[in-house]
Chain A
Amino acid sequence: MSAILFDRIDEPGLATIDVYTRRGGYSALKKALAMPREAIIEELKVSGLRGRGGAGFSMGTKASFIPGAEIDKYLVCNADESEPGTFKDRELMQKKPHQLIEGMIISAYAVGANRSFIYIRGEYVLQAEMLERAIAEAKQAGHLGENIHGSGFSLDLVLQRGAGAYICGEETGLLDSLEGKRGNPRLKPPFPANEGLYKGPTLINNVETLATVPPIIEMGGAEYAKLGVENSAGTKLVSVSGNVQRPGNYEIELGISSREIIFGLAGGPEAGRSVKLWFPGGSSSPVLTADDLDLPYDFDSLAKAGSMLGSGAIIVVDDSVRVVDVALKLASFYRHESCGKCTPCREGTNWTVNMLERVQSGEATPMDLDIIASVQEQIIGNCLCVLGDAMAMPVGSLVAKFRPEFEAHIEAARERNGLGASQPAVEQPVLTI
């Protein structure tokens, strides 16, 4: 397996600039500074690199949206990593902070941004410290600051710690937070590429995306594009967790079988247990079942199966777990994290939790499952940002795929509570005038 991001990941001292440089670090930067800006963006486009933060948008294309004009432009690294099940950026920042910094300098140079920021989730204390140290080293070495290596290009890099809010991973919520406000997402358009931080054009990318830039410059976009499969070029860090024996981050070439990741790399569920369901791309992705384990792990295959690659976090749930509990856990998380700005998400997540609590405690009937399903449909596509969808899609998929188990659970719980069997679902009477 080709290691691009996790190459030598466990080498002691790789987080320091000395070791990183000795292993070839910052040579991509030198190469890039000698290239015309458009050429770098072209290499990124050719590489086929798609954003690793969740949406999977082409990095090169996004960079090309940044206007060329000589105005204040910004680069922001999204290191909020709060999607449940995702912990790849943490390991990258902790062990290879310089690769991220190098990728940021190259990207900022490519789009003509002179100020850059890393917005890291507040809980990552250790990683923030390591990055601060690395930034200081990079400044010292002249990779950051005024007139970098005589190129005439200057870049300032500031690390900001968040303070505990998932929604600040959403790019516009992040921008508001970085501006010192509540992290409410903004209406789009305008998109950050036109009007982002401080109303200036802003390129926002995930840690992993930016850390992939130096290897791409080093090896050339075309070479990188040879890795992976069509529409899903390159390698990807996958965070595997939940009911598996070897949870952790694994770098894979896109397109390998999901079974290979879950069983081959992560060891699968413990002996005697089987996979009941799995989230292929973080807790926001619609769930898949054991039937889907042979899907190739790439953007298109997962999309075709009705889910998504998202942040590349695979959460495995084995057959010992009640699906009701999974649904309630998820819904509660999104209710807690909804920023509250728009109606369908604020009220829809709250209502869903209330209903699932009744389902869990047995004070529900199958009609409630219909309402739950319909509420998810009412949320999807109607919110200001996609946090609402991020609950509605997986919860909707759980209710759709495991309805018999929900129903059985309701009946059993009613029985336990002495409530008797539920009424069969009835159509609402319709009054025709």
Chain B
Amino acid sequence: MPRPTEKTITFTIDGREVEAIEGAMLVDAARGGDIEIPVFCYEPKLGAPVGACRMCLVEIEGIPKLQTACSTPVRDGMVVNTGTERVKGAQQSVVEFLLVNHPLDCPVCDKGGECPLQDISFGWGRGNSRFIEPKRHFVKPLALSPLIAIDRERCILCYRGVRFSQEIAEDHQLVLLERGASTFVATFDGHPYVAPFSGNIVELCPVGALTSRAYRFRARPWDIEGSGSICSLCPAQCNVTFTVRDERVLRVLSRDHDGVDDGWLCDKGRFAYQATHSDERLTTPLVRDGEQLRPATWERALAVAAGISRHAGSAAALIGGETSNEEALLLSRLMRDGLDSYDIDSRSGGVLPLELLRSLANPALQATVPDLEFANTVLLLDADPVDDAPILDLRIRKGARRREMQVLVASGRPTALDARAAEAVRHAPGSGANIACALDAALSGDTQRSATLARDGGADPEAVVRLANLLREAGEDIVIVWGERLTDGPSGAAAAQALLRIADQLGLASRDGAGLLELSRGTNGRGLREVGALPNSAPGFGEPQREGRGWNEIATAAAAGQVTALWLLGSDPARDASNGEPWAKALASAGLVIAHASTLSPELGAHANVVFPAEAGAEREGTVTSPDGRIQRLRPAIGHGGQVMPTAAVIAAIADAVGFEPGFSTGSKATEAVAEAVGFYAGLTSDEIGGRGIRWQERDAASALPAGTAGETAAPPAAAASPNGSLRLGTYRSIWASPEVEISPALKFLSRSATVEISPEDAERIGIGNGQRVELGSNGSQLEAVAQLRSDVPEGSIFIESGLTSVGLSATEGELVEVTAK
């Protein structure tokens, strides 16, 4: 959909002629004339203005009544007055009315000093008070949720928080009850407001009514400093400001970036900073001492790690998703050039041919994050943004709500966007490749092949045809958001080829607002591939010196003694993989296991020889690359806690100990090294990246990306297992499945126990009820879980959450599992 065009007009405000964009609201246009019109309820991020608070009344010549500047679009020649007696009178009245029921507890209010109500009362109020009646009193503060406190006395009913819940997050949990002067903000029947994005209401509240329980009474505005960086907890890479006091992060706020987060944060990004200062975080190196890992000096830990030189030729490295471009490049250099080891991987799903990686990275095929809002249609292919990259869920909702963008879904597990979807196709868990191939066939008119593929994938063939038709008629700008899991396993190449053909058939490469957007598993999944943290690619998708083993082969090789040392850079495979069992074996067999971690899983505890304490988000430095290719800077907001050292410095120290000179370690030098290694990042510097990041596709160097081909046609994906009484296992990694959530005091309540989502039909057949304990069994392994009946789960499939330390079922996506009542 074409972005709206902007026309400049001239209007007069307080006697001055000012230029503005036609249709801009007067409050915004007035700023062009350096005039501030006070507002409370107006917040353009929340959608259409509601005109509720009446703070922004102004006089417009030719209109008898005062008008709300927040909702009046400027027109050419308009004459506006904001300083007349009448306007001043109205402003003073509104301030006076707002203070009628607002307690004067500013001295003990968290908002004090950064409070719009204080500022506006000071700037536009009457300066005296005529109100002598008792104010309305509420018991306060009350917990709105474990994260948010509500002080109803302070609420000025500006509607912002409630509008956020209704119109942005669309969780519809925060509402207004009662009416008139009795109105108050609440949830249903004492249920807490718990939702992926609830914390945004704290930042939206213009008074101290909604406050963060984690931040309450921790600081006054003059004690703190803000420090801009990037949230490194998921691929969305939202821009944040860390609020810092005495080298501690006390709060995380959004640093509004239209190209990334649109000004919102998820609750993980907002509250997981607490993991930084949690007692449960590792802050000293650990070295194995018999059965036990014990705290050790850096010398000792580095010496143990330097023992990797004895494993030259048979070491392997798994690079975790949060790793920065610089760290990944450094470690892969050391592995390849210093240790003659080529088994390096950052993708847990299997190896994709280099040709396909290059083709998928084609700049013409890349959709941007804002495209999710302006497209005619967004198709989710085996992806659920709310778990994979939460903030993008809001972006898609925005497009759907404000521009009637069409949403289409094809996934194994029901997604959060299903309710918005014109068509939601369900397939068997792990069979996304079949659906991509079926869709490709349907688009090319081969309905028969499409039907076979769809059926093999456990999907309704007609639904796939409908999906294809909707796509064909979708208008020109189509964005396909696909989850990394789509290209997992043996059918990964077939899925990638299908994606490329679908893109070709829909002409996505020829449209600016159309394209593909991959949601990778890790924060920096895209950057890690681009810097060559892959077994079959050099940095910049160049030909590798030598191909190494991929993720799954490394496990097998380690169990077989062919790989003797494992370097786990921010990766905990036994925990992260949907099937952790082979990894438990691999870890047990390896002679040396080096890990970087902030918490210890049981497997690491049992098998690591040395553990380096990982850096927390606010301590990190380096660059990461977002799903749409935006290279962004992580900038340290605080010094390192405990004895933590920069990860890059640790790798460099080990390199030094084994006698390898990588040529760089940390700082802007490291970023330059990345730019030098990756052809299409050429010339990039920290300065150019700056505070807003830059998409590499938009720079001249982008042409250095080696052209890809579709490669040899891969074999079609295999058919999904037929349930036959058992059920197909699906897994998903929820937004809350992360070590940071588990150790942040505020977020702990969200860390989950094992549940299994099951359709009511299957539950009835097996004879289990909602909330009942069940046992899942596969290949002799067992898992106990609580059944959760969901009517939108397709019959024949069940879903469990991966990434939980407690999950240890030995079965992969799509395999059959026996479910029995306990």
* A interface residues, Cβ below 8 angstroms from B: 165, 167, 182, 187, 335-344, 346-351, 354-355, 358, 371, 378, 381-384, 428
Contact = CB atoms under 8 A, between A and B. Distances in A.
- Please name the 8 residue pairs, one residue from A and one from B, whose CB atoms are nearest each other, closest first: A378-B93, A347-B97, A350-B181, A340-B183, A338-B180, A187-B51, A354-B133, A340-B180
A393 to B, nearest CB: 14
27 contacts: A182-B176, A187-B49, A335-B181, A338-B181, A339-B180, A340-B157, A340-B176, A342-B52, A342-B53, A342-B54, A343-B55, A343-B98, A344-B54, A346-B157, A346-B183, A347-B97, A347-B181, A348-B97, A350-B100, A350-B180, A351-B97, A358-B133, A378-B97, A381-B65, A382-B54, A382-B57, A382-B94
A295 B52 CA distance: 38
Nearest to B134: A354
Interface in B521-567: none
A220 B336 CA distance: 96
B782 interface: no
A356 to B, nearest CB: 11
Contacts of B89: 378
A340 B179 contact: yes
A165 B93 CA distance: 27
B343 interface: no
Contacts of B779: none
A300 B611 CA distance: 88
Contacts of B470: none
Interface in B94-150: 94, 96-98, 100-101, 128, 130-131, 133
Tell me the dominant secondary structure on chain A's binding face.
helix
Given A344-B54, A350-B100, A382-B90, A187 B181 contact: no
A166 to B, nearest CB: 10
B492 to A, nearest CB: 45
B54 A383 contact: yes
Given A337-B180, A347-B101, A347-B181, A428 B128 contact: yes
Contacts of B128: 428
B588 interface: no
Given A165-B179, A347-B98, A349-B181, 12 more contacts: A182-B176, A187-B50, A336-B180, A340-B157, A340-B181, A341-B50, A343-B52, A343-B156, A343-B157, A344-B97, A351-B97, A354-B133
Nearest to B93: A378
**Most chain A CB neighbours (cut-off 10 Å) among B54, B55, B131, B176:** B54
Contacts of A187: 49-51, 68, 71
Interface string B73-100: 0000000000000000110011011101
A344 B180 CA distance: 11
A343 B50 contact: no
B182 interface: yes
A343 B159 CA distance: 11
A109 to B, nearest CB: 30
Given A187-B51, A187-B71, A336-B180, A343 B131 contact: no
A25 B708 CA distance: 78
A351 B52 contact: no
Nearest to B178: A340
A380 to B, nearest CB: 10
A343 B65 contact: no
Contacts of B50: 187, 341
Interface residues on B, range: 35 or more
Contacts of B98: 343, 347
B64 to A, nearest CB: 9
B754 interface: no
Contacts of B71: 187
B683 to A, nearest CB: 50
B25 to A, nearest CB: 12
A337 B54 CA distance: 19
Contacts of A384: 51-52, 54
Contacts of B93: 344, 378, 382
Given A344-B94, A346-B157, A335 B176 contact: no
Nearest to A348: B97
B66 interface: yes
Contacts of B176: 182, 340
Nearest to A367: B130
Nearest to A371: B130
**Most chain A CB neighbours (cut-off 10 Å) among B93, B176, B183:** B93
A338 B180 CA distance: 5
A383 to B, nearest CB: 7
A290 B566 CA distance: 99
Nearest to B184: A340
B808 to A, nearest CB: 47
Contacts of A354: 133
B131 to A, nearest CB: 7
Nearest to A339: B179
Contacts of A381: 65-66
Nearest to A165: B179
Contacts of B54: 342-344, 382-384
Nearest to A346: B181
A378 B96 contact: yes
**Most chain A CB neighbours (cut-off 10 Å) among B66, B97, B131:** B97
B1 to A, nearest CB: 19
**Most chain B CB neighbours (cut-off 10 Å) among A182, A342, A355, A358:** A342
B55 to A, nearest CB: 8
Contact of A349 (B53, B55, B94, B180): B180
B180 A335 contact: yes
Contacts of B131: 351
Interface in B167-221: 176, 178-183
Nearest to A187: B51
A189 to B, nearest CB: 9
A343 B90 CA distance: 11
Given A338-B180, A344-B94, A382 B53 contact: no
B52 A182 contact: no
A336 B50 CA distance: 22
Contacts of A348: 97
B100 to A, nearest CB: 5
Contacts of B183: 340, 346
A173 B548 CA distance: 68
Nearest to B92: A378
Nearest to B136: A350
B315 to A, nearest CB: 63
A339 B176 CA distance: 11
Nearest to A336: B180
A371 B133 CA distance: 13
A384 B98 CA distance: 15
B527 to A, nearest CB: 43
A338 B93 CA distance: 18
A351 B183 CA distance: 15
B342 to A, nearest CB: 60
Nearest to B90: A382
B180 A346 contact: yes
Contacts of A342: 51-54
Contacts of B178: 340
